Amino acid sequence: MGRFLLHRLLRLLPATWAILSIIFLLSRSFSQQQLATGRLADVSSTAHSASGAQRELAERQLRARLGLAEPLFYFSAAPRATAGLAARWQWNGTTNQYHRWLRQLSRAELGFSFRDEQPVTALLQRSLGYTLPLTAGAAACTIGLAWLAAPYLGWPRRRRSALLSALYLLDALPLFVVALLLLLLLANPDMLAWFPAYGLGREDPAASGLAQLQFRLYYLALPILALTLVSLPALIVQLDAALRQELRADYVVTARAKGLPEALVMRRHALRNALLPALTLLTELLPGLVAGSVVVELVYSLPGMGRRLAEAAAAHDYPVLLGGVLLIALVRLVAQVLADVLYFLTDPRIRLSQ
Amino acid sequence: MKSRARFSTLRRWLALLWLAGLLVAAGLAPVLPLPYAPDAPDLHAIAVTPLTGQHWLGTDPLGRDVLAQLLFGARTAVLVSLPAAALATLLGTILGSAAGFWSNDNIRIPAVYGLAALGVVAFSFVFQLSSGTSILLLGIIAAGLSLGAARLHRAGYRQVVALPVDRAVLGLGALVASVPLLILALTLAALLQPSPAGLLAVLVATYWPGPARLVRAEVLRIRALPYIEAGRSLGLPDGRLLYRHILPNCWHTISATFPISVATLIGLETTLSFLGVGLPPETASWGRLLASARLAPTAWWLILSPALAILLTTLALRQLSNTVSRNPQ
């Protein structure tokens, strides 16, 4: 199993590294341009009422502060003025931004935010504390609901198709629409004001652990519900298709013939086999939930990872954005490896073929 | 049974009607006699309910007319997602069919040419370097090339190398897929200046692996059929086999997934607009209209009308996909 996992990781890691490098290089080359046009950070505040030399000095200082002073990559195009036929490319050695970024990354440092100069790792850690309960809760709810709904998929055609068309309708809506509709229905003084519309509230530090948990859940209920509602349809539809396949098999006829109750036939026999194709969907589920938290946290004003990511994207705060993308890419990597492990555990054929 | 058949025909016509209406609205939005422009605030009517005055669907908290924003949002959705889906499908079809048809070992070039091309590229790069390190690099490249030449000499100069097309395309797809679609699109859209063309490029660059994988699987299946073997034995060239005999049979699959692609891309475009990335802030979009609902949480008309528009469009596109996949021509 160790060798199997190592093999998988070695195949998955290069793609992740490459996409992160591409995003890094793109973001840095764009921030060079935006620095020149004064769109980035606080250049504009110093730009007024300053002479040309002062402005240039301020820009150079800002460049050094943001770590944009060094060349971008191992080689770069020489400036047009000096470019003859002989010198169009310039070799920069290891004193370049990319090399520095990689070295920082190997020490698990992600640089500093362009906006408030805080270390990105600390920022991400703080916001992860809010996002993890949200995504973990949503993942647990999705899987639990799919598990609960599975026996009903054996229902006669008419009743089953009602359930499936409801899911089909739900699947047609993007996450932010579902979140807004929930807000309109369940957190609206004109309709039903069951849940708070935004934020996490102010916890009472003197309250007991259980009361604090209840308080947390009360505020997280709607975001978790939105995430669950959106990720459920794909899982159920896949499960349904796999179950249709399995229920036609001979072993199901045998199980029914020996008088097992229908729920047991579903849970113990058909579902176990139908789970295999659904496992691949779990790979999508975790990264999807993390990506979905971008939307949900913005709608419900939660101070988590996703909201920070969206704000960093809107404010051109590239170090934070890159750190967030790195984290999400890692989640996807972990999810893929997790799905492999689950496959390994559930399907003996993979173990035997080793 | 008969009523069910009639129901499904009705559904198909409704879907087509809605999509046609959407296209007409998108095309005619600038010339329709609307009482208000989509981005002109009416400060006398801020967040009013539908059917007040001439605001048939109400206004948002900034006093902009919802109906006008819906129509112009439809225009944005159509003008962005339709070309994006078409381009992504085209790119995916080209890359996917090449990967499926030639696999890893069917395009071969003589190793001599390969080595020569490599040498030319490497030397032209190094000769343009300006600093002193170029001597060192020159040495490394010369050593590598002579090593290659030595191997070639041993293996004979007729040696061919295969281009791993399939591996390259799959690797490129895995690269794009290693970050979730929404996050990748969000990041790339944040890097570019907000503009429709930039958003289009981002959507195409992130969405092509799906169609590519589909077409590749389809080409792999068809390539193994006897009539392709017959074509080969007749001596048809590769290009002709692929474009005249294999791709026409993939057409059905491609056209059945195209509406789904459009629906997904509309969802992505509205989500990005909702997050405030990708399109310039003055462009009307369903996502932006829904974003304005966050300023007035009790304004149901701000949420219901664009949500219905998105829902109906997605359902109609899926119905279209179903219709296409059930009626192979």
Is the pLDDT higher at B2 or at A187? A187
Alpha carbons A140 and A232: distance in angstroms, whole number: 11
**Assigned domain for A319 exists:** no
Using an 8 Å CB-CB cutoff, list chain B residues near A15: 171, 174-175, 177-178
| Distance separating alpha carbons of residues B271 and B275, to the nearest angstrom | 6
Domain count, chain B: 2
Would you call B178 and A309 a contact, using CB atoms and an 8 Å cutoff?
no
Indicate whether A75 belongs to any domain.
no
Claim to verify: residue A253 and residue A150 sit in the same structural domain: yes
Do A145 and A55 reside in the same domain of the chain? no
User: Residue B37 carries which DSSP code?
Assistant: -
Which residues from chain A sit within 8 angstroms of residue B307, using beta carbons?
173, 177, 180-181
| Residue scoring higher pLDDT (B134 or A337) | A337
Calculate the CA dihedral of residues A277, A282, A288, A293 and round it to 10 degrees: 150
Same domain, residue pair B13 and B57: yes
| ipTM value | 0.81
Chain A residue nearest residue B171, CA to CA:
A15
Domain identity same for B134 and B84: no
Phi, psi of A77 (to 5 degrees): -75, 130
Chain A contact set for B192 (CB, 8 A): 30
Q: Which of A259, A287, A303 is the last residue of a domain?
A: A303
Mutate to test the interface with A, among B7, B184, B186 (most CBs of A within 10 A): B186
**Residue B300: its chain A contacts at CB < 8 A?**
184, 190
Together in a domain, B31 and B82: yes
Q: Which two tokens stand for residue B234?
A: 């007749």
Residue B210 sits in the same domain as residue B317: yes
Q: Tell whether A121 is covered by a domain.
A: no
> Which residues of chain B make contact with A115, given a CB cutoff of 8 A?
none
Q: Which amino acid is at B61?
A: P
pLDDT digits (tens, 9 = 90+) for B180-189: 888 888 888 8
Cβ distance B128 to A88 less than 8 Å, yes or no, reads yes
The reported pLDDT for the residue numbered A86 is: 47
More confident residue, B251 or A58: B251
Q: Are B128 and A298 in contact (CB < 8 Å)?
A: no
Is residue A14 located within the same domain as residue A53?
yes
C-beta atoms of B311 and A321 within 8 A: no
* Residue-level pLDDT at B66: 85
Domain match, A57 and A185 both: no
Q: What confidence score (pLDDT) does residue B92 get?
A: 95
> Global pTM?
0.85
Question: Structural domain tally of chain A?
Answer: 2
Q: What percent of chain B has pLDDT over 70?
A: 95
| pLDDT on residue B215 | 94
The string of pLDDT tens digits covering residues A228-262 is: 998 888 888 888 888 888 888 899 889 989 998 88
List, in sequence order, every residue forming a beta bridge with B110; answer none if it has no partner: B160
Of A18, A26, A176, the CB nearest to B191: A26
**Does A247 fall in a domain?**
yes
* Residue B41 in this model has a pLDDT that exceeds 80: no
**Please, what's the b/e burial string for A300-331 (b: 16 or more CB within 10 A of its CB; e: otherwise)?**
bebebbbbbbbbbbbbbbbbbbbbbbbbbbeb
Given an 8 Å threshold on Cβ–Cβ distance, is A187 in contact with B171? no
Residues A50 and A159 placed together within one structural domain of the fold: no
- Same domain, residue pair A8 and A147: no
Does B300 contact A190 at a Cβ distance shorter than 8 Å?
Answer: yes
Which residues on chain B are in Cβ contact (under 8 Å) with A174?
Answer: 267, 270-271, 310
Cross-chain Cβ contact B190/A314 below 8 Å: yes
**Closest Cα in chain A, distance from residue B144 (Å):** 20
**Residue type for position A45:** S
Residue B285 and residue B188 in one domain: yes
Q: Are residues A180 and A231 in the same domain?
A: yes
The range of the structural domain enclosing residue B248 comes to 2-105+165-326
Domain finish residue from B145, B162, B179: B162
* A294: chain B residues, CB-CB within 8 Å: 182-183, 186, 275
- At A225, list the tokens: 């519900």
Contact A298 B315 (CB under 8 A): no
How many A×B Cβ pairs under 8 Å? 149
Q: Are residues A214 and A268 in the same domain?
A: yes
| Helix (H/G/I), strand (E/B), else coil: A301 | coil
B261 with B123, same domain?
Answer: no
List alpha helices for chain A, DSSP H: 2-37, 43-47, 52-66, 97-106, 120-149, 157-171, 175-186, 209-247, 250-257, 262-264, 271-299, 305-314, 318-346, 348-352
> Any bridge partners for residue B55, and if so which?
B52
The predicted pLDDT at position B57 comes to: 80
- On chain B, the residues whose CB falls within 8 A of the CB of A180 are 290, 293-294, 303, 307
- Dihedral angle of Cα B200, B204, B207, B211, to the nearest 10 degrees: 130
Write the residue in B175, B287, B303 that is nearest to A184 by C-beta.
B303
B293/B271 same-domain check: yes
**B15 & B141 share domain:** no
CATH of residue B94: 1.10.3720.10
Residues B112 and B99 in one domain: no
At which of B135, B162, B189 does a domain end? Answer: B162
Nearest of A293, A253, A290, A252 to residue A273 by alpha carbon: A252
Q: Which of B162, B190, B207 is the last residue of a domain?
A: B162
CB contact under 8 A, B189 and A187: no
Print the domain residue range for A22: 2-69+92-106
Residues A64 and A143 in one domain: no
d(CA B142, CA B131) in angstroms, rounded, equals 18
A52-56, B233-237, B270-274: lowest mean pLDDT where? A52-56
List of residues 6+ apart from B64 with CB closer than 8 A: B36, B38, B39, B40, B41, B42, B292
SS (H, E, C) A244-292: HHHHCCHHHHHHHHCCCCHHHHHHHHHHHHHHHHHHHHHHHHHHHHHHH
CB contact under 8 A, A173 and B182: no
Residue A80 resides in a domain: no
**A180 and B192 in contact by Cβ < 8 A?**
no
For residue B177, list chain A residues with Cβ-Cβ distance below 8 A.
15
- A86 contacts B274? CB cut-off 8 A: no
pLDDT band at B2 (very low <50, low <70, confident <90, very high): low
Of A93, A172, A197, the CB nearest to B311: A172
Residues B259 and B281 in one domain: yes
Lookup: tokens for A297: 């946290």
According to the model, what pLDDT value does residue B293 have? 82
Q: What span, in angstroms and rounded, lies between the C-alpha atoms of B202 and B187? A: 9
Mean pLDDT, rounded, for B256-267: 93
Is the distance from CB of A291 to CB of A325 less than 8 angstroms? no
Sequence-separated (6 or more) residues with CB below 8 Å from residue A210: none
Please calculate the CA angle A239-A241-A243 and round it to the nearest 5 degrees.
65
Å from B170 to nearest chain A CA?
A: 11
Q: Which of A318, A332, A286 is nearest to B187 (CA)?
A: A318
In percent, the amount of chain B with pLDDT more than 90 equals 36
Nearest to A15 among B174, B276, B307 (CB): B174
Residues of chain A with Cβ-Cβ distance to B183 below 8 Å are 291, 294, 309, 324-325, 328
Query: Nearest CA to A350 among A286, A282, A276?
Result: A276
Is residue A287 in a domain? yes
Question: Which of A5-14, A140-149, B239-248, B299-308 shows the lowest mean pLDDT across its residues?
Answer: A5-14
Domain match, B70 and B147 both: no
**Spans of chain A, pLDDT less than 70:** 35-50, 76-91, 154-157, 189, 193, 197, 199-207, 350-354
Q: Report residue B295 as tokens.
A: 């300023």
Which residues of chain A make contact with B298, given a CB cutoff of 8 A?
188-190
Q: How many CB atoms lie within 10 A of CB A54?
A: 12
- Nearest chain B residue (CA) to A289: B180
CA B15/CA A258 separation, integer angstroms: 47
Same domain for B318 and B224, yes or no, is yes
Give the per-residue pLDDT at B236: 92
Chain B residue with the nearest C-alpha to that of A196:
B297
Nearest CA in chain B to A320: B187
